[in-house]
Each structure stands twice: as C-alpha cells, then as structure tokens.
Amino acid sequence: MKKISVLFLTLLAFVLTTYSQEKINVVVIGAHPDDCDIDAGGTALKYAQLGHRVLFVSLTNGDAGHHEKGGGALARIRRAESQEAGKRFGVSYKVLDNHDAELMPTLENRHEIIRIIREWEADIVISHRPYDYHPDHRNAALLVQDAAFLVVVPNVVSDVPALKKNPIFLYSHDGFQKPSPFKPDIAVDITDVFDQKIYAMAAHESQFFEWLPWLYGTLDQVPDTDEQRVKWLAGFRRAPIGDELRQSLVKWYGSEKGKQVKIAESFEICEYGRRPSEDEIRRLFPMIGN
C-alpha cells in the first residue's frame, strides 16, 4: 500500500509539473515553404519536444520555385510537402496563397500577419531580416516589422483581439553584410536534433532534391534513395560555427558546453518588438543552457 502511495505521488508530481509549465507560443514566418524549416527548424523541434506551440507560416505558396513545374500544380505540391514537414517537426504549418516572387508589403498582407500573430497569441515571432537577395524575403521582413507594434493596437484589425503584451521579434540568420551584418544575440544548440531537422526538411522534395540542385548545377549529384538523400542534404546544410556565434553559445551555455556545440541556430533581436532581458530570454528559450 505504501509503495502504491509513493508511486501515485510521484506520478502526480510529474503530471502537475508538466502541465503547470507555461506554454510558449512561437510563430516563424518565412517567404516560402521551407524557409522556416531552414532558419529555425532545430529550435522548433526543441520547443515541440518540450510541449510548446510552434506555427510555421509561408507567406507565398511557392508556385514559381521550380525549373519544370509551376502554377497551381506546383503550389499544391509545395503545400502538401509543407504539411508533411510540419508533421515531422511537430509544428503547425500554414501556407498563404500569395504568388511566389510576387509578395508585396500591402495593407492586406500586413493585416493577415497581424491576425496570425494574434490568433496564435505569440510570445516570439521569427522572420527574415530586410537585407536579402530575394525580394520576397525582403518584403516578408518588412511586413513583419510593420506588424510588430500594431499587434497590440486594438483599433487595428479589430476583428481579432489585440495582444496585451508585445511579442519578442527576432531575425533569423543570414550571411549578408550590408548595410549591417547579422548579430547572433541568441544561440541555440541543435546538435542533438540536427538529423531530425534534416529529415523533416527532406519532406520538401521538390525544393531540396529538384529545384535547388538544378539551380546550383548539382542535380546530377542528388542520390537515388531517401536515406542517401537525407545524408546528402545534411552535408549540404551543415554550416560551420564562426567566432561570433561561438561567443554567443559560450554566453548562453557556459564556456565548457558552449565550446563543444557542433551545430547551432541563432537569432538577432529586432528593435521593433519587446526588448527582452537576459532572464526573459532564458525563460522563453528553455532549451538554452540544458
């Protein structure tokens, strides 16, 4: 009887601890299906594993990104690939019906982003920086920046209740240097989920095994089997850790662990959202330091 009581109390404590944790709501906004996966897929996996809520949003339907397919047929393929990727990541995946390569910072699109952020009750919003080779990426960044303050203004998009607290808005990593280079304010160790990230990304078959290899002149190098393709994609997508990112990892994980991290994702704090303290960042990124 005593053993049963101890077991019951242990299970009760576990349940109470698990379900009393504050749920963190994250929205990752990309211009195209697969942008969110590339920029924040490992971090999303970490959140999902801890029971938090992540939404991936593609602002376009990806209907131009292919050398042989296009239009509605390609859009349907990319939407289906996104849904499969979402299942593999453990996140929700929303694809809007704007045309690829035609995304514009319109009032209609801004209002749609405000609605999405509010409906998800976002604590964190991640998107592109406004410095990029692709006009869709630049305009996606502009749209999110324009929504950053307005998500708390009740008289804007009044059909959805305004957020009571402004989310933290973050930029995902890129390598562009002008007018200002990316700054890794927050760094997340994704070494242990990297293989899972690549497996989830591989759901975007039309992109990673057809369109992008064709674009880069490496289509003849794409392996035949699914297992070989995942390994090939992992080698292509494993970026080295530079000095600045290493310093950020040491800051968040400590010297010993920070120096051992092999694969990481990083984010820059956007000045247009809430300016978080270090304690708040650690609360909103519970995987950091663990």
Taking only the tens place, the pLDDT of each residue in 218-265 is: 999 999 999 999 999 999 898 899 999 999 999 999 999 999 999 999
Give the whole-angstrom CA distance, residue 263 versus residue 206: 25
The pTM (predicted TM-score) of the whole model is: 0.92
Spatial neighbors of 238 by CB under 8 A, at least 6 apart, are 194, 263
- Rounded to 5°, angle at Cα 94 from 93 and 98: 145
Residue 141: band (very low, low, confident or very high) from pLDDT cuts 50, 70, 90: very high
* pLDDT for position 272: 94
* pLDDT for position 15: 43
Is residue 9 predicted with pLDDT exceeding 80? no
Inter-axis angle of helices 226-237 and 194-201, nearest 10: 120
Q: Is 239 within 8 Å of 265 (Cβ atoms)?
A: no
Q: Listing from the earlier edge strand, what are the strands of the sheet with 92-98? A: 92-98, 53-60, 25-30, 124-127, 168-172, 264-269, 186-189
Is residue 10 predicted with pLDDT exceeding 70? no
Of the listed ranges 17-26, 67-76, 141-150, 188-197, the least confidently predicted one is 17-26
Is residue 37 predicted with pLDDT exceeding 60? yes
Q: Is 261 within 8 Å of 155 (Cβ atoms)?
A: no
Domains in the chain: ranges and CATH: 24-284 (3.40.50.10320)
Per-residue pLDDT reduced to its tens digit, 68-108: 999 999 999 999 999 999 999 999 999 999 999 999 999 99
Residue 7: band (very low, low, confident or very high) from pLDDT cuts 50, 70, 90: very low
Q: Is 166 within 8 Å of 118 (Cβ atoms)?
A: no
Give the whole-angstrom CA distance, residue 174 versus residue 186: 14
Residue 289: band (very low, low, confident or very high) from pLDDT cuts 50, 70, 90: confident
Higher pLDDT, 274 or 9: 274
Spatial neighbors of 29 by CB under 8 A, at least 6 apart, are 36, 57, 59, 113, 116, 125, 126, 127, 128, 140, 144
Mean pLDDT in residue range 173-191: 97
* pLDDT for position 6: 42
Is residue 16 predicted with pLDDT exceeding 70? no
Q: Is 109 within 8 Å of 232 (Cβ atoms)?
A: no
DSSP 208: I
